[in-house]
């Protein structure tokens, strides 16, 4: 398995791929809209498709974002799920594909239909934006990290940062993942008690680190 990322397809979806041999990113696609995919999609996105009388942990009732659009004349949803009132999954007659409507400021978690296995520990798959998707549609990556030990389905987390309702089509090339080295350093935590001098203990903590930066942060370099 040396230097090989293995993928297991568990849905009807295009295989992860690189456009060119030495591209850093491995492209992921939106699966075909089957009844099982739609059911799983809705289960993973309770804010977009709330169940009847479902409330959050804070006691706030989930509300479906209001979408402003008009369905094309004669268009119909092609997936095999009885839901005549679904206002967020439609069929594009011209493209011949189903699509999801994602309102401005909304986020969605799309089951990718893909599981991964990297060749050895010390690696991870990190999600990055597709430049065309981010610049054209305003769709950017949310949750990003797939750990080496993760054995579940990879999900594609997207946020609509634009001011328009965005269509996310089945088979759409939507995100890319980059396999990257990970340093699994040991974790050593030093705890202070109420009597300790934080400034003094901080100096001891950073002893031997040569830098003139110190505690400066939050745009401090712009003030030089």
pLDDT tens column, 158-204: 999 999 999 999 999 999 999 999 999 999 999 998 888 888 888 88
Residue at 138 is within a domain: yes
Note the pLDDT of residue 222. Answer: 61
Torsion of CA 79, 56, 140, 87, to 10 degrees: 30
Residue at 186 is within a domain: no
CATH number, domain containing residue 170: 2.70.40.10
Q: Which residue range forms the structural domain that includes residue 158?
A: 6-181
Whether 82 shows a pLDDT value over 80: the answer reads no
Note the pLDDT of residue 52. Answer: 60
> What pTM value is reported for the model?
0.80
Distance CA 62, CA 53 (A): 8
Distance CA 45, CA 109 (A): 6
Note the pLDDT of residue 210. Answer: 79
Q: What is the mean predicted confidence (pLDDT) over 56-60?
A: 47
Distance CA 181, CA 173 (A): 25
pLDDT band, residue 3 (cuts 50/70/90): confident
Note the pLDDT of residue 154. Answer: 97
Residue at 205 is within a domain: no
Residue at 40 is within a domain: yes
Distance CA 117, CA 149 (A): 8
């Amino acid at each position: 398995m040396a230097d090989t990322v293995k993928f297991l397809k568990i849905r009807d979806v295009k295989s992860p791929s690189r456009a060119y041999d030495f591209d850093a990113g491995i492209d992921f696609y939106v699966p075909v809209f089957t009844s099982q995919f739609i059911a799983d999609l809705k289960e993973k996105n309770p804010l977009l498709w709330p169940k009847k009388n479902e409330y959050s942990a804070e006691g706030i009732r989930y509300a479906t974002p209001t979408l402003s659009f008009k369905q094309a004349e004669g268009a119909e949803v092609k997936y095999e799920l009885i839901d005549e009132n679904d206002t967020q999954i439609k069929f594009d007659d011209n493209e011949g594909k189903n699509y999801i409507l994602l309102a401005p400021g909304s986020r969605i978690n799309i089951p990718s239909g893909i599981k991964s296995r990297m060749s050895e520990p010390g690696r991870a798959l990190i999600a990055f934006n597709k430049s065309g998707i981010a610049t054209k549609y305003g769709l950017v990556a949310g949750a990003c990290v797939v750990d080496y030990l993760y054995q579940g389905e990879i999900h594609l987390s997207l946020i609509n940062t634009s001011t328009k309702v965005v269509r996310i089509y089945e088979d759409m090339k939507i995100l890319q993942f980059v396999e990257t080295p990970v340093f699994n350093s040991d974790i050593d935590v030093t705890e202070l008690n109420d009597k300790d001098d934080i400034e003094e203990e901080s100096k001891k903590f950073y002893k031997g680190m040569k830098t003139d930066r110190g505690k400066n942060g939050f745009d401090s370099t712009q003030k030089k």
